[in-house]
Amino acid sequence: MSDTRQLETAVADLVPRAQAGDAAARDELLRRCHGRVYRWALVHTGDSDDADDVAQEVLLRLHRYLGRYSGRSRFTTWLYQVTRNAALGWRRRLTSRLRVTRELTGERVGETGGTSDPMERLHGSQIAEVVTALFHRLPARQREVFNLADIEGVALVEIAERMGLDPGTVRAHLFRARRTLRARILAHHPELAEERGR
């Protein structure tokens, strides 16, 4: 059973009780949702501090707007959409602040400030670190689908429902994400291909 399904089962009785005004059920619901919301936010932000900020915002929204959950979709599908919207809003606000800061300091948008390729910071062939670094360089939609499918184990049909996409589109994003990750890993670390061939 995937983590998402476990959460769905764990909160099934808490949601209606919390909606009915049971404060203890609401607090337990928030506690149980926090870890999953944080991991979803981390996929969107790529930074643990930013993910924590987004997760706190989502939990506040959950506290205030739980009554808006109508039960027409799974609770985790609804919660994922709330998290996704909060993360996208956070990204827009951050981009706006960066643009204003650059304008005020006269920095050109194209300047990178000498940031180095994540591969240059690796010591040895640590596959998990390689994949994590490359994962965050995938386009947002591919990163989101890859995380849900290959890390969380969510079925493609459910991913399509959560993201409001056609299942074929989800499948295409997942294929591209896997292909891109594999190609980048092999390009930066050809020794991994050699190890697989042994």
The domain boundary, picked from 115, 132, 155, lies at 115
98 and 13, same structural domain?
A: yes
Residue 138: give its domain's CATH number. Answer: 1.10.10.10
Residues of the domain holding 90: 1-115
Given this model, what pLDDT does residue 37 score? Answer: 92
Domains held by the chain: number = 2
Span 100-157, pLDDT tens digits: 545 544 544 444 444 444 444 444 335 556 667 777 888 888 888 888 887 777 888 8
Domain boundary among 56, 91, 115: 115
Q: For residues 45 and 41, what is the distance between their CA atoms, to the nearest angstrom?
A: 6
Claim to verify: residue 84 and residue 165 sit in the same structural domain: no
Are 148 and 86 in a shared domain?
Answer: no
Which tokens hold the place of 46? 């790529």
What is the secondary structure of 90-135 as a DSSP string? HHHHHHHHHHHHHHHHT--TT--TTPPPGGGG--S--HHHHHHHHH
Rounded mean pLDDT, 55-65:
89
Same domain, 63 and 104: yes
Which of 115, 132, 160 is the endpoint of a domain?
115
Whether the Cβ atoms of residue 68 and residue 14 lie closer than 8 Å to each other: no
Residues 27 and 62 in one domain: yes
% of residues, the chain, pLDDT over 70: 74
Is 197 part of a structural domain of the chain?
A: no
